[in-house]
Homo-oligomer: A and B are copies of this chain.
Amino acid sequence: MPPKVKSLEDREKLRARIIDAARTLFVERGIEAVSMREIAKKINYSATTLYHHFADKDALLQAVCDEDFLKLASGMRELMQLPNLIERIQALSKGYAMFALQYPNHYRLMFMTPRAPCNLDITEIEQGNTEQDAYAQLKLVVKEAFDAGLFRPEITHFELIAQTLWASTHGVCSLEIALGNEPWIQWVEIDRRFNLMQRAVLRGLLRDPDSVE
């Protein structure tokens, strides 16, 4: 028993409900295991309706991730207040890791699942916008520290440093999420793994290793 011409506001509301339902199911059971029909049923619509809001399943997935990226970025922005550059880098790294481990399934969607390369036209996130992009914030701090000469002189490219820092934290977190309770690995506590990684990689990058911690 269908239609009622809806206001633009209502349309946005339905869009949001679709995204929320999709996220819940994706996170519960994995992307491939969730069908468009299921998502639709969860909010009492037919599957076709989803296609009036999103071009296809990938676009819906992209929308789910976009929201989570924004949330992550806004959480990180608060940490950018710390005055000491190295402490700020450490705080960003720690904040990122806590997000990953607190919302492992979101993290999986965002950073561990190869998806069709996002059409920049389709994403609503302004990449590079510090307000919206967590990686842009890391780049910002790293550049500042780079310009201040804090890193070893043979490293000539600051973005390479940012990507290395990112990869180190991502390595610890994603391994924990993917294999954290495999019985054949005697994992050391995740905190100790995170701390050693952060210490080691920073010591390895900084001109003065003893300035860390």
How far, in angstroms, from A133 to B186 measured CA to CA in the complex?
14
**A3 interface residue, CB < 8 Å from B?**
no
How many A residues have CB within 8 A of the partner chain?
Answer: 55
Nearest CB on B from A191, distance (A):
11
Residues of B with C-beta under 8 A to A187: 163
**A204 interface residue, CB < 8 Å from B?**
yes
Nearest CB on B from A117, distance (A):
5
Contact B111 A193 (CB under 8 A): no
Given A174-B174, A193-B160, are A209 and B200 neighbors across the interface (CB < 8 Å)?
no
How far, in angstroms, from A202 to B159 measured CA to CA in the complex?
20
27 pairs across A/B with beta carbons < 8 Å?
Answer: A32-B32, A111-B175, A112-B174, A117-B181, A117-B182, A117-B183, A118-B182, A118-B183, A118-B184, A120-B184, A123-B184, A155-B196, A157-B188, A159-B186, A159-B188, A163-B187, A163-B193, A164-B172, A164-B197, A166-B171, A166-B175, A167-B168, A168-B168, A168-B201, A200-B201, A201-B201, A202-B204
The interface of chain A, by Cβ under 8 A from chain B, is: 32, 104, 108, 111-115, 117-118, 120, 123, 127-128, 133, 135, 155, 157, 159-161, 163-164, 166-172, 174-175, 177-179, 181-188, 192-193, 196-197, 199-205, 209
Q: Which residue of B is nearest A198, CB measured?
A: B204
Residues of B with C-beta under 8 A to A111: 175, 178-179
Q: Which residue of B is nearest A177, CB measured?
A: B114
How far, in angstroms, from A12 to B9 measured CA to CA in the complex?
62
Nearest CB on B from A122, distance (A):
11
Contact A170 B174 (CB under 8 A): yes
Residues of B with C-beta under 8 A to A175: 111, 163, 166-167, 170
How far, in angstroms, from A114 to B104 measured CA to CA in the complex?
10
Contact B113 A178 (CB under 8 A): yes
How far, in angstroms, from A84 to B160 measured CA to CA in the complex?
28
